[in-house]
């Protein structure tokens, strides 16, 4: 049976799929997101019952932008109408509603009128945004709400580091010969989304080492399965993985590889933590995910460039 170009493209896309999905909002996420904006509004306003005028504002904003007269057959213009519409809406419309609710909260709390707790509003919205983005990650949905000059929902693959490092790494690792490294790197992302930062660091190092071992095996460079990252780095550099014109930079490259991935992992997550548990900050794990991806792309590209 002949495998057509389109068939091969579909297979490649399936194997190299991003670690996030971009076309589905799970029902559990929708419920959690609605509760986040409900809790935020209840925390901002005094008394606890949010004034009806606030939901009239949200209702009018949403219906106008979606081009509909109402959000339900009863059209009570209530908070329940908004929640029910969001839970049942199509993917695109659900993201529209979610974005408008968060943008609307920012607009309402920036107005000069209202009975809300102005001294708390900014902190509440900031914390609610962090929780929403954690829920996005928890469900593997590739979006995030960013607060800036133009608050909005963005795709994670539009972030420079993700599009220029993570996605290319997944594309390269999707090849069957890098299956082990691919599995470990995806596990690192799963641990990161679940908040298991130490496990994320360990899987990053495993993916890095597996990439090096695969290259050594394919090139028939002698190595041991028990070799550490430092030993593997030395092997590939001694076997001229890099072009000759980069020989003068070998020392710097080796130092960068050794310190960027293995050292951070070893100090933060790879050894006994002693009497006090070691807490790995999320930004360390995120840094290492990107650093691992960039290094894997660099190594695989160098391997493919060899004669």
Cis, peptide link before residue 158, omega less than 30° from 0? no
Q: Nearest CA to 237 among 247, 224, 228? A: 247
Confidence of residue 275 (pLDDT cuts 50, 70, 90): low
- The pTM for the full model equals 0.63
Torsion of CA 126, 130, 131, 137, to 10 degrees: 160
Fold of the 160-305 domain: 1.20.120
Q: What local confidence, expressed as pLDDT, does residue 284 receive?
A: 79
Q: Name the segment(s) of the chain with CATH classification 1.20.120.
A: 160-305
Q: Nearest CA to 151 among 92, 90, 110? A: 110
**Which tens digit of pLDDT belongs to each residue from 119-147?**
577 888 889 999 999 899 888 898 889 88
DSSP 8-state code for residue 50? P
Q: What local confidence, expressed as pLDDT, does residue 136 receive?
A: 92
The token duo for 244 is: 């000759």
List the helix and strand counts (H, then E) for the chain.
14, 2
Rounded to whole angstroms, how far apart are CA atoms 192 and 283? 10
For 62-104, the DSSP string reads: HHHHHT-S-SSSS---SHHHHHHHHHHS-HHHHHHHHHHHHHH
Q: What local confidence, expressed as pLDDT, does residue 98 receive?
A: 95
Treating both helix axes as pointing N-terminal to C-terminal, what angle do 179-194 and 118-138 enclose, rounded to 10 degrees?
A: 150
Q: What local confidence, expressed as pLDDT, does residue 251 receive?
A: 54
Share of the chain above pLDDT 90, in %: 22
Q: Nearest CA to 124 among 33, 44, 197? A: 44
SS3 39: helix
């Amino acid at each position: 049976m002949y495998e057509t170009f389109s068939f091969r493209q579909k297979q490649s896309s399936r194997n190299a799929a991003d670690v996030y999905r971009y076309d589905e909002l799970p029902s559990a996420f929708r419920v959690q997101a609605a509760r986040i904006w409900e809790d935020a509004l209840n925390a901002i306003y005094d008394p606890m019952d949010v004034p009806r005028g606030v939901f009239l504002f949200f209702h009018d904003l949403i219906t106008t932008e979606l081009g509909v007269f109402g959000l339900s057959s009863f059209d009570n213009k209530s908070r329940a109408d908004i929640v029910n519409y969001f839970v049942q809406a199509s993917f695109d419309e659900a993201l529209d509603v979610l974005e408008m609710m968060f943008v609307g909260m920012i607009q309402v709390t920036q107005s000069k009128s209202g009975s809300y707790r102005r001294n708390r509003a900014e902190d509440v919205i900031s914390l609610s945004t962090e929780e929403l983005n954690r829920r996005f990650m928890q469900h593997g949905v590739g979006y995030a709400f960013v607060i800036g000059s133009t608050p909005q929902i963005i795709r994670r693959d539009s972030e420079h580091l993700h599009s220029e490092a993570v996605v290319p790494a997944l594309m390269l690792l999707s090849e069957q010969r890098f299956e082990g490294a691919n599995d470990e790197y995806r596990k690192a992302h799963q641990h990161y989304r679940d908040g298991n930062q130490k496990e994320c660091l360990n899987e990053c190092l495993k993916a890095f080492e597996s990439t090096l071992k695969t290259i050594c095996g394919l090139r028939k460079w002698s190595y041991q399965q028990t070799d550490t990252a430092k030993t593997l780095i030395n092997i590939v550099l001694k076997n001229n993985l890099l072009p000759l014109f980069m020989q003068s930079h070998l020392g710097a490259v080796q130092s960068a590889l050794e310190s960027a991935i293995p050292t951070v992992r070893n100090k933060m997550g790879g050894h006994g933590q002693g009497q006090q548990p070691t807490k790995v900050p999320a930004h360390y794990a995120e840094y290492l995910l990107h650093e691992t991806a960039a290094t894997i792309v660099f190594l695989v590209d160098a391997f493919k460039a060899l004669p």
